[in-house]
Homo-oligomer: A and B are copies of this chain.
Amino acid sequence: MSKGITQKSQDYNKWYTDVISKAELADHGPVKGTMVIRPYGFAIWELVRDEFDKKFKETGHSNAYFPLFIPKSFLAKEADHVKGFAKECAIVTHSRLMSDEDNSIKVDPASKLEEEIIVRPTSETVIWHMYKKWINSYRDLPILINQWANVVRWEMRTRLFLRTSEFLWQEGHTAHSSEKEAREETLKILNIYESVSKNHLGIPVLTGKKSESEKFAGAVDTYCIEAMMGDKRALQTGTSHYLGQNFSKAFDVKFQTENNNEEYVYASSWGVSTRLIGAIIMVHGDDKGLRLPPSIAPTQVVIVPFFKNDDELNTIKNYINSYLENLSTVGVRFLFDDRDKLSPGFKFNEWELKGVPLRIEIGSKEIDSDELTLFRRDLNEKSSVSADSLVDYIRNTLNDIQSNLFNQADKFKQEHTFSADSYEEFKTLINGGGFVRCGWDGTESTEKQIKDDTKATIRCIPFDEAPSKKKCILTGEKAKHEAIFAKAY
């Protein structure tokens, strides 16, 4: 089969690229750093997106849509924000093309814009400009808005799903009448991120707070979920920011309180992106390719028939049909792969590569014995199942695969999460890969020195930190925080 992929253990980066390409998840677009999400990759994204969307709506959020284009001057209104995004902006300067003398197409210089336009790298500025129009009184609060959108950050070193010039995400932007409420919102969303990651994507995550140097440009506090990839590196898979009054001050958004005072509005913003698809590949994938948790598998069960001619195929169809109807009824997503000219072996490889959780193999032998052969992708194991119990078996096994993939990932994460008491030990552990928890004196200089020495960064300050008896892993000074360090994507 031509779809062979690089072994994960041999070359992790090449393995990752191969899975994306051979499983037809994504491709590079013509403009450097852009990404095409192919139908199979997009079907996974739809299942991821819909689950988050459901949770956001259940907690009172509404979707809306704000413009792609932001006036240049807006970006500069919040000082940290512009510093964070100025160096990676796509800037629109003209609005018309024209034919040159030699009939080639060039930009019409007469169409130069009065003010340049930024293609949104994130939407705080344009949204807070609108919130100024919509918010007058405490009665207008809270505003709990989310949008699903594309954003652009001009990245030099790109990698499909993980870091591309344009990506898809959701960005929530909420406005509140008190710090307390805005902070609660920030953590409520972090909880949603954590639970959808675990229960839906099968990905265990660390949660905690970012250090000052790693927080969002414009935030007071940034909270995150961080996952461990199959090569033991960390990937930030979602962030939730408490923005305080930074944007309401920058955009002069005040509200009248119940006591008739005026106050600046409190804010949060939060996002997850198509980067999650990268995490799904790297957390669950193996040497055969993708392994998908059933809840985000576009096809949960593939049926591969063994047949030599149309008669045999029809016999199989007639036999399996009532079972498939039952699967439909209980909401299982299945596909009967009746393509001819392709061998069952070719199909096995293809669906294993694409990570379909369960495969049913069926030919005359199975029909005669009323015993079907099932293949579990999470364990790469076959078993026989009597036709009578097929539907129950599939439902139970899909649940089992869902938990098993999470448990495998959780075990891997736990096995590669360490604590360190000396800097030598720390360096050895970081070098071997994984998360290392230790004391940190809270200074940026220490954080930087550790990064220079080891390439590890602070992934988060965990919520359950107990720094009082700890010393800083680098300086030996009294620790201000416990921090979790790792090399990260």
Please tell me if the beta carbons of B107 and A116 are within 8 angstroms of each other in the complex: yes
| A373 on interface, CB distance cutoff 8 Å | no
| A145 on interface, CB distance cutoff 8 Å | yes
Q: In the complex, how many angstroms separate the beta carbon of A75 from the nearest chain B beta carbon?
A: 7
Q: In the complex, how many angstroms separate the beta carbon of A77 from the nearest chain B beta carbon?
A: 10
Please tell me if the beta carbons of A91 and B93 are within 8 angstroms of each other in the complex: yes
Scan A44-79; emit 1 where CB is below 8 A from any B CB, else 0. Answer: 011000000000000000111111111111111000
Please tell me if the beta carbons of B126 and A97 are within 8 angstroms of each other in the complex: no
With A62-B42, A130-B27: A98-B86 Cβ-Cβ less than 8 Å = yes
Please tell me if the beta carbons of A64 and B92 are within 8 angstroms of each other in the complex: no
A98 to B39, CA, bound (A): 39
| A105 on interface, CB distance cutoff 8 Å | yes
A211 to B55, CA, bound (A): 48
Q: In the complex, how many angstroms separate the beta carbon of A115 from the nearest chain B beta carbon?
A: 9
A391 contacts which chain B residues (CB < 8 A)?
A: none
| A94 on interface, CB distance cutoff 8 Å | yes
With A92-B91, A96-B154: A105-B76 Cβ-Cβ less than 8 Å = yes
Q: In the complex, how many angstroms separate the beta carbon of A8 from the nearest chain B beta carbon?
A: 26
**Apart from A39-B63, A41-B64, A68-B119, 10 more pairs, CB < 8 Å:** A29-B66, A30-B74, A30-B129, A42-B64, A42-B65, A89-B95, A91-B93, A91-B107, A94-B116, A150-B150
| A225 on interface, CB distance cutoff 8 Å | no
With A42-B65, A63-B43, A66-B29: A93-B71 Cβ-Cβ less than 8 Å = no
A376 to B86, CA, bound (A): 53
21 contacts between A and B (CB under 8 A): A27-B130, A29-B130, A30-B74, A31-B70, A31-B71, A31-B117, A34-B67, A36-B64, A36-B66, A36-B130, A39-B64, A41-B64, A73-B105, A86-B105, A91-B95, A91-B96, A91-B107, A91-B111, A92-B93, A92-B119, A150-B150
A30 to B69, CA, bound (A): 8
Please tell me if the beta carbons of B97 and A94 are within 8 angstroms of each other in the complex: no
Nearest B residue (CB) for A74:
B30
| A316 on interface, CB distance cutoff 8 Å | no
Tell me which of B74, B117, B154 contacts A90 (CB under 8 A).
B117
Kindly report how many copies of this chain are found in the complex they form together: 2
Please tell me if the beta carbons of B67 and A39 are within 8 angstroms of each other in the complex: no
A82 contacts which chain B residues (CB < 8 A)?
A: 97, 105
Residues of A within 8 A of B (CB): 27, 29-31, 34-39, 41-43, 45-46, 62-76, 82, 86-99, 104-105, 107, 111, 116-119, 126, 129-130, 133, 145, 149-150, 152, 154, 165-166, 168
A95 contacts which chain B residues (CB < 8 A)?
A: 88-91, 154
A177 to B189, CA, bound (A): 48
Please tell me if the beta carbons of A166 and B43 are within 8 angstroms of each other in the complex: no
With A95-B90, A130-B36: A68-B105 Cβ-Cβ less than 8 Å = no
A67 to B87, CA, bound (A): 21
Q: In the complex, how many angstroms separate the beta carbon of A203 from the nearest chain B beta carbon?
A: 22
Nearest B residue (CB) for A151:
B68
A364 to B111, CA, bound (A): 66
A74 to B69, CA, bound (A): 23
Please tell me if the beta carbons of A69 and B31 are within 8 angstroms of each other in the complex: yes
Please tell me if the beta carbons of A67 and B119 are within 8 angstroms of each other in the complex: no
A96 contacts which chain B residues (CB < 8 A)?
A: 86-89, 91, 154
A37 to B127, CA, bound (A): 11
